A and B are shown apart, each in its own frame.
Chain A
Amino acid sequence: MAERPEDLNLPNAVITRIIKEALPDGVNVSKEARRAISQAASVFVLYATSWSLDEHAQCPYADVINVSRPFGQSLTQLWSMDEDKLSKVANNFAMKAKRKTLNAGDVLSAMEEMEFERFLEPLKESLEVYKKGQKGKKEVTEQKRKDKEKKTDSENDKSREEEEEEEEEEEERMDEEPQAENEGEEEEVEN
């Protein structure tokens, strides 16, 4: 995958805005400084990524269990006497499994290791806000989709038939439910 150098830079406009909002009003930031901060930000991403990967590889026991639950358990039984050995095996498995999907925990641990603990709280809050936003978006898209379906239904004969079918299905389901209840009652009586 060939990336042009420009692609690895972050958009200048956004970087400039973040800088301006962080500094007191009216501070003059040289063009050179802005460019340097933008490059520093890209390097930060790479640096944080490599730290996150490290966190990922060094987690001892969790990796053993996660690679394969039954296998992990049998290993624990075999080698419960020797913790050092177990941890070494665990690390080896982590690397061989090449399970290099970075997760949120890896990133947070990396921030701690990089001595940016001050970031941890705002990061967690930010993630919450983002997740809520995504949930809201999903609901809006779902609602839009339902509305769209209703609209096309009222325009199509075919769809009207489908609706009737759906209603029949629903009735069947409703019929099944009381049946199931009856069966349950019968069993109790037998017992």
Chain B
Amino acid sequence: MSQNKDDLASSNKKTISLPISRVRLIMKSSPDVSSINQDALVLTTKATELFVQHLAVASFNNGSGKETNSLSYSDLANTAEETETLHFLTDILPKKILARDYLTSLEDFQEEDADF
């Protein structure tokens, strides 16, 4: 069973699973792109797959999930903030804080202002 999975994984390393047409759509939404060479399209699609793997593994290793054997949103958000190469994700993977904590920190901030 695990041998089959290895075979699948190694063939996935070289073949492409994501739909190239969808990736082209996303690339073309960028205004400066006029056309995309087929090779460039293939490379970008594959790179995106590699990126998904990289993000998942890095976040899992970095997070607390190792004990609980799970991957959560906060693992991703934390990893994005802590890893330089993933900083471009911090806007779409914002850390979540409890509303209560936000209000408290807001009060502290206003108090500081009042001192001046």
Binary contact readout A32-48 vs B (1 if CB under 8 angstroms, 0 otherwise)? 11001101111111111
Q: Contacts A8-B25, A8-B29 hold; do A41 and B48 have CB atoms under 8 A apart? A: yes
- CB closest residue in chain B, given A133: B15
Say whether B22 contacts A22, CB under 8 Å: no
A18-B17, A29-B70, A129-B15 given; A46·B29 CB < 8 A = yes
Chain A contacts of B15 at CB under 8 A?
126, 129-130, 133
Interface of B is mostly: helix
B9 contacts the other chain (CB 8 A) = yes
Q: How far is the CA of A18 from the CA of B44 in the complex (A)?
A: 16
CB-contacts of A147-186 with B (<8 A): none
Among A61-69, A72-80, A106-114, the one that faces the other chain is A106-114
Residues of B close to A39: CB separation below 8 A: 92
Point out the residue from A30, A49, A116 that lies within 8 Å of B33, measured CB to CB: A49
Say how far B19's CB is from chain A's closest CB, in angstroms.
7
| Alpha-carbon distance between A7 and B76 when the two chains are bound, in angstroms | 23
A27 close to B65 (CB less than 8 A): yes
- Say whether A103 contacts B37, CB under 8 Å: yes
Per DSSP, chain A at the interface is helix
Contacts of B16 in A (CB 8 A): 126, 130
Taking a contact as CB atoms under 8 Å apart, the answer to whether B49 and A107 are in contact is no
Q: How far is the CA of A102 from the CA of B35 in the complex (A)?
A: 7
Picked from A27, A42, A115, A116, the residue with its CB within 8 Å of the CB of B71 is: A27
Whether the Cβ atoms of A33 and B85 lie closer than 8 Å is no
Query: Which residues of chain A come closer than 8 Å to B106, judged between CB atoms?
Result: none
A125 and B14 within 8 A (CB): yes
B50-58, B97-105, B107-115: which one contacts chain A?
B50-58
Interface contact B40-A11, CB-CB below 8 Å: no
Within 8 A of A (CB), among B21-60: 22-23, 25-30, 32-37, 39-40, 42-44, 46-57, 59-60
* Chain B interface residues (CB < 8 Å from chain A): 5, 8-9, 12-19, 22-23, 25-30, 32-37, 39-40, 42-44, 46-57, 59-60, 65, 68-73, 75-77, 80, 84-85, 88-89, 92-93
> With A3-B29, A104-B40, A126-B14 given, can you name 10 additional A-B contacts, CB distance below 8 Å?
A11-B18, A21-B5, A22-B57, A23-B56, A32-B73, A36-B77, A36-B92, A44-B51, A98-B34, A104-B43
Write 11 A-B pairs (CB below 8 A) sorted by A numbering.
A10-B19, A22-B56, A28-B68, A40-B92, A41-B51, A42-B26, A103-B40, A115-B84, A123-B46, A123-B50, A130-B42
